[in-house]
A and B are shown apart, each in its own frame.
Chain A
Amino acid sequence: MPATITCRGLQCAFPTGERPALQEVALSLPAGTIVLLVGRSGAGKSTLLHALAGLLADDVAITRQGAIDIAGHDPQSLPAARRAALVGLVQQSPDTQICTTTVEAEVAFGLENLGIDAKEINHRIDEALRLVGMRELRYRHVTELSGGQRQRLVLAAVLAMRPQVLLLDEPLSQLDPAAASQFLAAIDRLPSDGPTIIVAEHRTAPWIEHADRLILLEAGQVAADLGGDDFAAWDAAIQSLKAQEAPARAAANQTSSAIVEIERLRFAFGPRRPLVLDELTFAAHAGERIALLGANGSGKSTLLALLAGLHKPSAGELRFADAKSSPGVGLVRQNPDTLLLCRTVWDELAFAPRCAGCTSREVETRVRDAAARFRLEALLDRSPLLLSQGERLRVAVGATFTLHAPLLLLDEPTTGQDPLHEAQLMRTLTEAVRAGGPPECVMFSTHDLHVARTYADRVIVLDGGRVMADGEPEAAIEAYDALLRDRLARGREL
């Protein structure tokens, strides 16, 4: 049974924030609506969702004022089990939400907390897994699931509790288009008397046809509340903003010097293991921005790891133009947190040049340059671990940038970034490439077709470890899109 949601004068403040995270937010959402919540990073989307979920009270020193009413209750004042039965929350990363080891146990976890008996739990597990299309995976270990399956598992675990309100915090941000479609299909399968849904998302396009209403948050305030036909105009405005920020595309430049040449490259994680990369042949040239597209498991991250020297090819050749120049490749992995090693942002940026034996003057020059490019000047004395996710990513990219490697590899650099930060990051990298480096060439993997279309001069599509398309973005993306549609039509999991 869906619930109405009412907020009056909602205000939330963090002790360290310059301004309240939410200011005088007033909302009235009828039962059963699907609301799309948009806004830049730091606009207050997640804080609003956490407040609606009644989970702000557990956070240290956050002050909340104003009233929230969901089906006649303020979730914050309810006991944990009743609160979870009223409002369900699905967050961005499935890995930080999965609490148990198997699919069945994960769905059962919340139901056990509600004190439901075993027979009913069994029935609800079955029902929830059917809704998300994972019934046949009931007894699997969670480590055997793909990223998309894990996110649907989290959704199933929340739906099994039959909440009256479902809050989704960027649920598609880490999913490839096929997995995102399957997640959306699960939302479509919810019964007509299903929960009221609020979705906070940077990737708005997939939700446009599902949502009844769109709320824009800016600096913690409701800046716009749109309904129906206004969405299309809003989406067009966002795309136009991104296009303005996007640097001009250069023609694919395959006549300049090759930084790396790959010839008939094959790779498997062991002698009897299946091939992850199979007969790859291409070259990356100076001045190019190359996007790697492909479904989860297509070999994108493995290719980047091979180029960075983390694995050795099983067969074939990997030739760098200047084999003696070390380090020739910088790699920013998907989770920036695993790249941060030092106490301050300054030390992070200085780490690579110090290891390379640069003089202190050269170290300082590189640090100042990277700080200016990635807008980190104000953060140089702060601990990187206490920054926001977007800032941590910028530190990780900046810290890899100071290696001054000719080839910079980025694994999903725009995940979780709002359109403006995404555009700024990619613009900075483009300017560096256009200026002749470092880096001379940027190669990044992405699931976001818009990012590939906007920020790449060349797109390489991987499918099952093979190059399926390589060339101008439009043509390659069209080929990838056709592949996705074909796979989805045949109901196959990529």
Chain B
Amino acid sequence: MNWSHALRQVEPRPWLVRVDPRLKLLWVATISLGCIWFESTPMLAALGAVAALPLLAIRFPWRAAAAYAAIVLLVIWSTIYSQGVFYRGAHGRPLFTIIPAFAWNGETYAGLHFYAEGAQYGAGQSLRLVANLLAGSSVALSTSPERLMAALIRLRIPTALSYMGTAALRSLPLALEEWAALRLAYRLRSGRLRPGRRWAPFRRLREELRLLEPLLATTLRRASALAFAVRARGFDPAQPRTHFPPLAMRAWEKLACAALAALWLAAIYVTVAGWQAG
């Protein structure tokens, strides 16, 4: 699959693109706050569902959507599984046993068990990760790097950091493109034009790893060329700059920001009140 091509085909609805990026960033921050605030798995699952809502306004090519869903499920499964296996709660009771306890060479080993408490803990952690992933990717996919940079600067993030962050976002499809080009070069020059039917995971892995060095070199060369280009056009992170078109919040966006800010204040108030009561 050509990932850079798939990324370029992702198409957010125009209304979502127009939403002020400051509101989008506040939305992501609020989802993150929720991740800290909520403890119960159902609440975190609900938070994940809320975080996924903006993605409904983004059209994905079906293969990209399937890959995205697979990544989300993989994060959830791997976190639950690893926490379930390696959980060492004081009163943890194994839900089932993978390797029973055994003695070997005069030592007794506890075996490998899957704990319900661990799985529950893993579910919470994975849902936190997924909620942030969904909220963050919806913003990244629906906001141009230029508007995102303008928003970050307006939110008092240093210009150099804002530019680096948004340039990295923009360079992701370019890096994927270069990786695809290097894989193609490998195939062309090795005479192995088709991946082949034989399943040879270690050979494939070795070939992919071999591409890391040239990928790094081409990425660095591209980064250096970009740095030169922006300097040639007068960019200086230490100097103030204007933004075009200027960011301007509409009435409903201001209201939404106020609502989210109220949510933050309420959370802080309840937390502080809880501490005092405790």
Contact = CB atoms under 8 A, between A and B. Distances in A.
Contacts of A400: 188-189
Given A53-B232, A80-B231, A83-B234, A385 B191 contact: no
Interface string A229-269: 00000000000000000000000000000000000000000
A465 to B, nearest CB: 20
Contacts of B213: 343
Contacts of B239: 79-81, 113, 115
B81 interface: no
A100 B221 CA distance: 18
B192 A355 contact: yes
- Contact residues on B (Cβ < 8 Å of other chain), bracket: 35 or more
Interface stretch (A16-24, A103-111, A177-185, A436-444): A103-111
B230 interface: yes
A352 B234 contact: no
Interface string B204-246: 0000001101100110011001101111111110011111111
A121 B244 contact: yes
Contacts of B191: 326-327, 352, 355-356, 403
Nearest to A354: B190
Interface string A186-204: 0000000000000000000
Contacts of B41: none
A363 interface: no
Q: How big is the A interface, by class?
A: 35 or more
Contact of B218 (A88, A118, A337): A337
A25 interface: no
A341 B234 contact: no
A16 to B, nearest CB: 16
A365 interface: no
Interface string A84-105: 1100110100001111111011
A157 interface: yes
Interface in A112-168: 112-118, 121-122, 125, 143, 157-158, 161
Contacts of B218: 337-338
A111 B222 contact: no
Contacts of A109: 146, 230, 233, 235
A340 interface: yes
A58 B184 contact: no
A339 interface: yes
A351 B233 contact: no
A61 to B, nearest CB: 15
Nearest to A355: B190
Contacts of B189: 339, 341, 351-352, 355, 399-400, 403
26 contacts: A53-B232, A79-B239, A80-B231, A80-B235, A81-B234, A82-B234, A88-B232, A98-B229, A102-B144, A102-B146, A112-B241, A113-B241, A115-B240, A122-B244, A308-B188, A309-B193, A327-B191, A330-B188, A333-B185, A340-B185, A341-B182, A341-B186, A341-B210, A341-B211, A351-B190, A355-B190
Interface of A: 53, 55, 58, 79-85, 88-89, 91, 96-102, 104-105, 108-118, 121-122, 125, 143, 157-158, 161, 308-310, 326-327, 330-331, 333, 335, 337-341, 343, 351-352, 355-356, 385, 399-400, 403
Q: Lowest 8 CB-CB distances: which A-B pairs, in order?
A: A84-B234, A327-B191, A96-B225, A113-B234, A355-B190, A80-B236, A338-B181, A110-B233
